[in-house]
Amino acid sequence: MSNTLEFTLPELDDLDGLTITKILVAVGDVIHLDQDILSLESEKTVLDVPSTHAGTVTKLSVAVGDKIAQGAIILTLEVSEGAEAVSTSEPE
């Protein structure tokens, strides 16, 4: 069994004016927990954004050159049951 997850841009310490400079994944890619998925640039810094889940990319919602803000949807993942992910559940 699998489920769909929309991965959004997390809070990034009050950075404004973020522009996507690189997209490091494509539709169909299998990504892992903490894998860098895109690079962002502001007037002050350049940073890579890692994935908080593992799964298969089913849709990209952004493009290089897009301005992006906290909470914006970056991509959609098909997360397989048992895939590594950030979780608050206790191990069995």
| Residue 61, domain member (yes or no) | yes
| Residue 72, domain member (yes or no) | yes
Q: Tell me: the pLDDT tens digits for 56-86?
A: 999 999 999 999 988 899 999 999 765 544 4
pLDDT > 60? residue 4: yes
| Residue 47, domain member (yes or no) | yes
pLDDT > 50? residue 38: yes
| Residue 84, domain member (yes or no) | no
| Residue 25, domain member (yes or no) | yes
**Could you list the residue range(s) of the whole structural domain that residue 68 is in?**
2-79
Q: Could you give the number of structural domains in the chain?
A: 1
Sequential DSSP letters for the chain: -EEEEEEEPPP-TT--SEEEEEE---TT-EE-TT-EEEEEE-SS-EEEEE-SB-EEEEEE---TT-EE-TT-EEEEEEEETT--B---SPP-
Q: Can you say how many angstroms the Cα of residue 70 is from the centroid of all Cα atoms in its chain?
A: 12
| Residue 86, domain member (yes or no) | no
Q: How many CB atoms lie within 10 A of CB 28?
A: 8
CATH number at residue 16: 2.40.50.100
pLDDT > 80? residue 24: yes
